[in-house]
Structure 1
């Protein structure tokens, strides 16, 4: 069975699929993603970025451990108290306030200059190293098509007339052994290996070692890395300010980084998008606040019309179609699952 069939089976009539169904879909996606010799089509890439980009997948205890990368848990896991319908204003991301000072570039013109401003801002955030047993808390607002439509059209762009904001809350222990999220309004805490669930997380020692651009390879090597790309990594881990700054400076040196000064985030506040063109027509962007240069989200948008030919028919994209849009509302260290302050 191919991954499209798995998705159709996984996301049928129920608006909130159960964990086992979600995991089957993720496992099928990982099989395609891990085949490095196989060409990744535009449709596969959009699906990969929609399903996400941190490590985490449950498998049967007797089965081989499978790790996947995902940006946010889809379906019900992590969704709290139902769904927010329609755009809604959000507060500034709780990522710490940078100290006052003079930005490196008053009027940045290139991706490298924007990223240097972002690095300067990041390294001025207040920070206390987490204690053993503490958790990374990541709260996001994700713009998605409504479940009934998304289940039938998982690869379609976000439709303004059918979209909604979903609040996602996730807790990951710093040691990577515990994760938590809301399911049907109830906080569910799971330990790695419990009930046959396994996942991989990048070791904290690997994260804290990335203190300069030359120590931040694109593949994020080290225990549990699974080749996680930086564009995904920085939204899935709560990292020290010097590490985030090093990542931005590393990306500034990467070829093909572009600036989209007209990017707009989920609530209409102005943001600048920095990213790379993939498949020749999709811009995969990190979003930064235009005034503070804080990292606030990510999105994937078509920059020109395109037709992707597939075995199950043609997929048509139009310039301006948005396939993914996520805002990171809060990224902090907390004491236990359920804490948000």
Structure 2
């Protein structure tokens, strides 16, 4: 046995790197991967990023102009931006709720309901405007909501992790493990799973108070999904500047997660048609049946509604969120 072999026998094997070390290594690799890029015709745009606890300063990034005239940060740079967001939110102060406390959310919604079946939606079509208030007990055992102005308390039954703080706080904070957990929980047939995961991450940010480590993991996980872009010059429905993290879903609409450009706090989500689209029922290749003259017959395919390119399909703006001691209270 030589000297090296003797040392190997004498020393224990090192422990594998933990989630924090893996995240740091991933950040470094992504940053290094974007240092060299092939020459293309790019438009240089300064993207203002607020200084945070990790001293994130204004970042000048290369931005490609799309056919619509909107700036779209290339995928590699979008990944780096998402990692910066993750690093910033991971350092914010946070006080978790007690199990007997409630998480209150209020959001303003613009959408098209069943009243619009059979219609062709355009940018001139006026959507429905509603305000939704919701209370979720932190331990997940009860939920509260308003029906005709009256508070109703009920047992939520089976809930997804993103809907309950107790389940949410138990999720892994390693982005790869988080993706695996969401893929396992949200297996949906006939749907692009990456589309669905992106939407579920948006719902997670909107419906709950997210612990900083998990919020950082969500943005790192989003960075690993294909087709995600970042727009640093977007505005919300009120004309306020927002940072838009988006992905084209189902091939016809751009699904945006809207963040405060200075703090990266969640503000809302928005879906805009990027091409003309018809919602057909049943979907092509899917058979549905109905009863006619007492007989079960195939349902004839038909267009339930259609939408014109450029039409805003849905907007959800979170107007208030906080921890309260009882359902019905507001922060």
Cα RMSD (Å):
3.0
Structure 2 counterpart of 1:208, from 145, 170, 175: 170
State whether structure 2 residue 150 is matched by structure 1 residue 191: no
Conserved 8 A contact 1:135-1:336: yes
Structure 1 counterpart of 2:315, from 319, 325, 341: 325
Corresponding residue SS for 2:207? coil
State whether structure 2 residue 202 is matched by structure 1 residue 238: no
Aligned-pair CA distance for 1:299: 1.1
Structure 1, unaligned runs of 5 or more: 1-96, 193-197
Q: 1:158 to 1:141 in 2, by over 3 A?
A: farther
Structure 1 distance, partners of 2:252, 2:327, is: 40
Task: Give the TM-score normalised by the residue count of structure 2.
Answer: 0.61
Structure 2 counterpart of 1:335, from 316, 320, 325: 325
State whether structure 2 residue 111 is matched by structure 1 residue 144: yes
Conserved 8 A contact 1:138-1:169: yes
Q: Report how many residues are paired.
A: 234
Structure number with the higher strand fraction is: 2
Conserved 8 A contact 1:180-1:188: yes
Structure 2 counterpart of 1:171, from 135, 144, 157: 135
Match of 1:88 in 2: none
Structure 2 counterpart of 1:153, from 116, 119, 124: 116
Structure 1 distance, partners of 2:279, 2:186, is: 28
Structure 1 distance, partners of 2:106, 2:173, is: 25
Q: 1:330 to 1:218 in 2, by over 3 A?
A: farther
Structure 1 distance, partners of 2:314, 2:177, is: 29
Conserved 8 A contact 2:278-2:303: no
Aligned-pair CA distance for 1:101: 5.2
Alignment map for 1:242-321 (pairs within 5 Å): 242-261=213-232, 263-310=234-281, 311-313=301-303, 315-321=305-311
Q: 1:172 to 1:234 in 2, by over 3 A?
A: same
Corresponding residue SS for 1:216? helix
Conserved 8 A contact 1:134-1:336: yes
Q: 1:292 to 1:323 in 2, by over 3 A?
A: same
Q: 1:217 to 1:100 in 2, by over 3 A?
A: closer
Structure 1 distance, partners of 2:145, 2:51, is: 29
Would you identify which runs of 4 or more consecutive aligned residues in structure 1 move more than 4 Å?
A: 97-101, 154-161, 225-228, 307-310
Aligned-pair CA distance for 1:111: 2.4
Aligned-pair CA distance for 1:325: 0.7
Structure 2 counterpart of 1:106, from 52, 56, 59: 59
Structure 2 distance, partners of 1:134, 1:158, is: 43
Task: Give the TM-score normalised by the residue count of structure 1.
Answer: 0.59
Higher radius of gyration, 1 or 2: 2
Structure 1 distance, partners of 2:122, 2:211, is: 33
Structure 2 distance, partners of 1:314, 1:167, is: 26
Conserved 8 A contact 1:138-1:332: yes
Structure 2 distance, partners of 1:273, 1:156, is: 27
